[in-house]
Structure 1
Amino acid sequence: MASIRYIFASVVVFAAFLTAAYACTGSTIAAFNIQVLGQSKMGKPEVVDYLKQIIAQYDLVLIQEIRDVAGTAIVELLDAVNSQPGSNFKMTLGPRVGRSSSKEQYAYFYREDKFQALDSFSYDDQTDGFEREPFVVLFENLDKGAAVSKFSIIGLHSKPTDAVNEVDLLVDVYAASKKRFGVEDSILMGDFNADCSYLTRTEFETVRLWTDTSFQWLIPSSADTTVKSTDCAYDRIVLAGQNLIANSKDAGIFNYHERYGITTDLAEDISDHYPVYFTIN
């Protein structure tokens, strides 16, 4: 059964995906690993100009790989995004996490007229299964006519060499989210490193997040979410909760290299990952 689902996700679902910016109704949610986001990157005006344009396309964005010890780079990025006409983003920022001295943070940027962050927690990783514990936030959709009124987001940037175990453990994080918030609708997303040598097709069959059919994977393994010459679907979006699954659409990858017609060097300065996104009603 899992093998059939793998083929379905890689062939049928991908046919509906776009590699351009979204053009649809509802609210669009994205995950973006901004490679080594710190003072050095924020000191490059051209890079920041593209980052703020990319982020402002969406209504809610999970940002990963924030490595600024001073904690000012992510605030500067939020200010840059909000310097654009019509931008009104707020931020929910997680703690610095990681086993080594190279720690990272997760952040959620969200339009304050569309969403409200109600509660959050960093996963209590008692078995030390995660290099960077997932950061979980409960959001309320402020559109009173929306089909999805409340949902959690579980953000993860996995350790590449332990991707199999960390992606599998997301099932436990989802259970913890349901217990704390009492909400079944959940988005599990981020740079899972869930492809190529880090999580192979055979290894997928051992991962509960994949074999449990109550979870729906939106970004297939045939996709390429990397900016460089690699062809890997590292960045993923997985949905839980029948209401959320039924009211989601238009998942895809935003290839800013092609969309903006920029040089390869500039594209790689922005990040080594493209954003992944989808829309909820």
Structure 2
Amino acid sequence: MAIPVLLLLLLFADIATATFKICAFNIKSFGEAKASNRKVMSILVKILSRCDISAIQEVRDLKGEAIPALVKEINRYDSSHSYVHLESKRLGKNSYKEQLVFIYRADMVKITDFYQYVEDRPDHPEAFAREPFIVRFHSPKTGEKDFALISHHTCPREAAKEINKLLLVMLEVKSRWRMENIMLLGDLNASCSYLTMDQWKEIQIRSGSYFHWLIGDKEDTTVRQKTHCAYDRIVVYGEDFFKAIIPASAKPFNFKKKLGLSEEEVIISLISLLCVNILTMCVAGGLLTVYCQ
């Protein structure tokens, strides 16, 4: 299993004097216990209130109460926006189940469609331990008004096989919705011992000219100083969408400093789940912005 992380991937777009942010992160085993932990909730609320859209992985909310409680606290903390959420079904091939969740500002962006990917092609064997969750958004505030986000959390021991299968997922989204503004984001376990050099050579979305990996292999998206792995990634499909992003603007952003947290506080107080790294992307063109912060 990858080191627990809470990775934020921020996509900044200019909205007059404001910015539009898309975030994604892995909250390890977020459920009733963590929702009842005031310190955990306080930090999560401060993070999520920065984002117009948040794609959350590894939610384990058996009673279905933890995410609504989190959204309620976000709305209490930030009354300038209206936050709502959309959950996937519980995903997993055995007794271990997770959910993928989107929390977003209803006054800034709307969901126009969504679906859970289904592996039903006889010519392609099943690869996913948990199928990707795909959501189509429309925002009147951005230049590129329609875009699709694919949230996914790979099984570490099957990372290579799952990442390779994501080609079919992205192409299906393109065909289904007739669009090319597609972003894959999440904890792909795409680094270190989970993906060898030989396996990388077989990854189809790695070599295709229309697929752009915005987080390099040498980046560190983990919480521990002794670990240096680019587990979490952003992959953009489509030239227009890619050109909207300022070159080399995707980078880890350490928000331990923003919240004044030590590594020990992150690991101990947050039960090894809070990642201190934010991947920040400034965008231009259709999604204009002039700065990253």
TM-score bracket for this pair, using the shorter chain length:
0.7 to 0.9
Report how far residue 277 of structure 1 moved: 4.3
Once the two structures are TM-superposed, the CA of residue 202 in structure 1 deviates from its matched residue by 3.4
CA 1:205–1:20: 2 relative to 1, 3 Å:
closer
1:70 aligned to 63, 69, 83, which one?
63
SS of aligned partner of 2:21: strand
In the superposition, relative to structure 1, how do residues 212 and 95 fare at CA in structure 2: closer, same or farther (>3 Å)?
same
2:169 to 163, 170, 173: 173
Q: State the Cα deviation string for residues 55-101 of structure 1 (Å, max 9, x = none).
A: 11121110010011111111111111111232322212111101121
Q: Name the residue aligned to 2:42.
A: 49
* 1:236 pairs with 2:230: no
Report the secondary structure of 1:237's partner residue.
strand
Moved more, 160-169 or 254-263: 254-263
The secondary structure found in structure 2 opposite 1:236 is strand
8 Å Cα contact 1:120-1:138 kept in structure 2: yes
In structure 1, distance between residues paired with 2:105 and 2:186: 19
Distance 1:256 1:219 in 2: 17
TM-score, length basis structure 2: 0.83
Do 2:9 and 2:234's aligned partners in 1 also have CA atoms closer than 8 Å?
Answer: no
Which sections of structure 1, spanning at least 5 residues, go unmatched? 1-18
- The answer to whether the Cα contact below 8 Å between 2:11 and 2:20 also exists between their aligned partners in 1 is no
Over the matched positions of the two proteins, sequence identity in percent amounts to 31
Q: Distance in 2 between matches of 1:50 and 1:37?
A: 13
**Residue 266 of structure 2 corresponds to which residue in structure 1?**
267
Deviations 1:106-165 (A, max 9, x none): 01111112211111111011332100100000111222xx33111111111000011001
Unpaired runs of at least 5, structure 2 = 1-7, 288-293
Q: Is the partner of 1:164 in helix, strand or coil?
A: helix
1:97 is matched with: 91
> For 1:173-194, what per-residue CA distance to the aligned partner results, in whole angstroms no more than 9, with x for missing partners?
0111112211111000100000
Match of 2:118 among 120, 124, 144: 124
Equivalent-residue separation in structure 2 for 1:23 and 1:130 (angstroms): 30
The RMSD of aligned alpha carbons is 2.1
Q: How many residues align?
A: 261
C-alpha distance in 2 between matches for 1:207 and 1:40: 37
Question: Cα distance 1:53–1:163, how it changes in 2: closer, same or farther (>3 A)?
Answer: same
* Aligned-partner SS, 2:137: strand
2:134 maps to what in 1?
136
**C-alpha displacement of 1:214:** 0.7
Aligned CA distance change for structure 1 residues 153 and 279 (closer, same or farther; 3 Å):
farther
User: CA offsets, 1:185-226, max 9 Å, x none?
Assistant: 100010000000101333212101101121111111111111
**Residue of structure 2 equivalent to 1:276:** 279
1:161 matched to which residue of 2? 157
TM-score normalised according to structure 1 size: 0.86
With over 3 angstroms needed to count, the CA separation of the structure-2 counterparts of 1:59 and 1:117, relative to structure 1, is same
CA 1:36 to 1:82, structure 2 compared with 1: closer, same or farther past 3 Å? same
CA distance in 2, matches of 1:31, 1:20: 5
Which residue of 1 is the match for residue 183 of structure 2?
187
> Which range moves more in the overlay, 75-84 or 271-280?
271-280
Cα distance in 1 between the residues matched to 2:9 and 2:65: 31
Q: Partners of 1:129 and 1:112 in 2: how far apart?
A: 34
1:30, CA displacement in angstroms? 1.4
SS at match of 2:233: strand
